[in-house]
Structure 1
């Protein structure tokens, strides 16, 4: 099914490896979680993350292809962000020019808006969780995707969250003050920190110690360099606002003058009843023929798609479909 290659990363309970799908030859990331080391609440949290990733299918969110659950391990087959993460890029190369930052920031904002439309707050937005799809940087078709929904949570409009989470430098004042907070508005603050770093090459709030950093964040004390355009300054200043209800909305972000004229090829987010990407009948039949030639039953493939499965059959179909049409529209489950 998959040929494993080098290790990409390691956490407390998991290892991420690069692997190649045998039939499609596409590279994927495989997150291997050792369930024997997890407490019951940690297992519940893990299952929640998987449920969220199944729900959020968007061109600018890292895609979950397959879930394989055994007695001791959980394997998540994920889209591979081959170009590294945004933090790594900015640390190595410094700030971006604004036209490029506009394109990439809009992609991130579109992904977050889609999550919020489906009542999911990410709660850990930061450059480390924004990954480049390929190593082809600084090109018009450059794509960035949001990942890591480990701290995400469902929300009801107007309902406050209480669990403080996220990374210090990207956390909003109300989270640091341990106040009940609005998840989507906390995400908007984090978008402001990400944008600031993209156009300046540094964080707006980073002091020699955590206490000083927290003080700066709570007091919202930051300075935008003079080389940043007035329109970009305006957007940052409307994102990084102490009072959550005064922060700019995602609809206003996407309509802001700084992003005016920035167009990304975002497919329609129309739901599809049969769980299949929108490809032609000819492409669909060609994929089924390829899978049949590999010994996979087309009837079972069709059933896996109709049942919205996250098994090997469905993942193989979708990987082959991406080769037929790399930008096929979003699916909502």
Structure 2
């Protein structure tokens, strides 16, 4: 999980703006570190022009696996920048983190300036504090995530690393956003043969043949995520458990919810539902969203990032 130490990002004058714009240091102030991972680090920050709170993601140049070309840019940029820019260009979506700006750091990589909800924590921490979520609560989150992924796919992007750590929850409103497109790729109908996501969220076909389709991968990961929400932990830890594709429910979960999870976790990719079919499943149709908020908001964790 995220390292909450107050580490400062030391920026030098080599931070250049794209297309000759003002440099990073004249537009943003960088604060303590919020988290770190294989990609680099994330810091809190502030936009100087209006005081807007932002997140600043530093991507180490040697950690970038995929590159892309942007119109008007001479040098390639990380695929994550290109994917987020594509989603922002069409207006964005409330369930997807928005990239506000990006900069190249000479010899060190890239800085991505991202929106940051004022009171949020990732879903991993949320579940760790709260325990397994009620089905009302899980349904509210899950619906938002699936609808956000419909938007992402509709605009030619696949995330490829859907998991609790890549979902942030606004603890005031219970709205969620998908973050971290560092493992993402352009959406295509042909199989993918590379994977930079999280193995315990990956489907049997990747474990066995290092190949998968975009939608069936996404839906499998959603099944793991929904199980995680209603049971308090993920269903599979080892490859043999993933290949068996038989989740064991450790808590009392309704038959309707179990049926949706097991459908998403079908061994055969072609037997898994589409995102549209998930949203029309009987479990997703039961309960009122407004009721979820009223019922569960009083028991929200008090702490946030």
For residue 75 of structure 1, the aligned residue among 111, 126, 149 is 111
Structure 1 stretch 159-168 or stretch 169-178: which is displaced more?
Answer: 159-168
Once superposed, what is the RMSD of the aligned Cα atoms? Answer: 2.2
Higher relative contact order (CA 8 A, sep 6+): 1
1:173-198 CA-partner distances (Å, limit 9, x unpaired): 00111342111110100000000010
Which residue matches 1:224? 249
CA contact (8 A) 2:43 2:56 kept: yes
Alignment partner of 1:2 out of 10, 13, 28: 28
Equivalent residue number for residue 196 of structure 1: 227
- Per the alignment, residue 264 of structure 2 pairs with 239
1:64-94 residue CA offsets vs partner (Å, 9 max, x unmatched): 0011234334221101154211112112221
Aligned counterpart in structure 2 of residue 115 of structure 1, from 127, 144, 152: 152
Per the TM alignment, residue 221 of structure 1 is displaced from its structure 2 partner at its CA by 2.2
**Structure 1 residues 242 and 18: CA distance shift in structure 2, 3 A:** same
Match of 2:59 among 7, 29, 33: 33
2: distance between equivalents of 1:13 and 1:236? 30
Q: Which has the higher strand share?
A: 2
8 A contact 1:101–1:198 mirrored in 2: yes
Q: 1:145 aligns with which of 163, 174, 177?
A: 177
Distance 1:30 1:248 in 2: 36
Q: Which has the larger radius of gyration?
A: 1
Is there any run of 5+ residues in structure 1 with no aligned partner, and where? 207-212, 265-333
Deviations for 1:34-83, whole angstroms, at most 9, x for unmatched residues? 44x467x5555952111101122211011100112343342211011542
Q: Distance in 1 between matches of 2:52 and 2:276?
A: 35
Query: Secondary structure at the residue paired with 2:247?
Result: coil
Q: 1:167-316, aligned counterparts within 5 Å?
A: 167-206=198-237, 213-225=238-250, 227-260=252-285, 262=288
**Is 2:158 aligned against 1:126?**
no
Query: In structure 2, what is the Cα distance between the partners aligned to 1:163 and 1:250?
Result: 22
Following TM superposition, by how much is the alpha carbon of 1:110 offset from its aligned partner in structure 2, in angstroms? 0.8
Q: Distance in 2 between matches of 1:127 and 1:28?
A: 21
Task: Confirm or deny: 8 A CA contact 2:223 2:261 kept in the other structure.
Answer: yes
8 Å CA contact 2:39, 2:182 repeated in 1: no
Give SS of 2:32's match.
strand
**Unaligned residue ranges in structure 2 (runs of 5+):** 1-26, 69-75, 291-305
- Please give the secondary structure, in 2, of the residue aligned with 1:241: coil
Q: What is the CA–CA distance in structure 2 between the aligned matches of 1:90 and 1:124, rounded to whole Å?
A: 18
1: CA distance between counterparts of 2:257 and 2:145? 16
State the alpha-carbon separation in 2 of the partners of residues 22 and 151 from structure 1.
30
Q: Are the structure 2 counterparts of residues 189 and 38 from structure 1 closer, same or farther at C-alpha, using a change threshold of 3 Å?
A: closer
Matched, 1:14 2:40: yes
Q: 1:109 to 1:179 in 2, by over 3 A?
A: same
Contact 2:160 2:184 in 1 (8 A): yes
Could you say which residue in structure 2 is the equivalent of 1:163? 194
